[in-house]
Amino acid sequence: MKAGAAAKMALSLFSTATMLQLGKVRDGHMIDMSPTNAKLRRRAVRMVVEMASVTAPRAAAALASTGWNVRAAIEHVSSARRRRRAR
């Protein structure tokens, strides 16, 4: 392995470990991302669908209502589900 590739791998491991310690990763997904374009917004919708077990339209609505904050959208739909179950 060349020095450049080794350095890149070391920095990637360090970055991943840091994000894990900061709580920015959940279930293997980086949830504190800023979906600023259509591709990232589609990814955010897929993440909320997968992690909160909701439909894509429901995930998109939750993301839109939270300003496209993935963490907040997951909490939003999860708390709504808990409130419905408690009734």
Per residue in 40-64, pLDDT (tens digit) is 999 999 999 999 999 999 999 999 9
The pTM of the full predicted model, rounded to 2 decimals, is: 0.75
Per-residue confidence (pLDDT) for residue 60, from 0 to 100: 96
Per-residue confidence (pLDDT) for residue 66, from 0 to 100: 94
The CATH-assigned architecture of domain 25-86 is Orthogonal Bundle (1.10)
Per-residue confidence (pLDDT) for residue 79, from 0 to 100: 79
Q: How far apart are CA 84 and CA 68, in angstroms?
A: 23
Per-residue confidence (pLDDT) for residue 83, from 0 to 100: 66
Those residues of the chain that have pLDDT short of 50 are: none
What distance separates the 2 farthest-apart alpha carbons in the chain? 60
Residue 45 · residue 63 · CB < 8 Å = yes
Residue 29 · residue 18 · CB < 8 Å = no
Domain boundaries, the chain: 25-86
Per-residue confidence (pLDDT) for residue 10, from 0 to 100: 93
Residue 52 · residue 31 · CB < 8 Å = no
DSSP structure string for 11-80: HHHHHHHHHHHTT-EETTEE-S----SHHHHHHHHHHHHHHHT--HHHHHHHHHHTTS-HHHHHHHHHHH
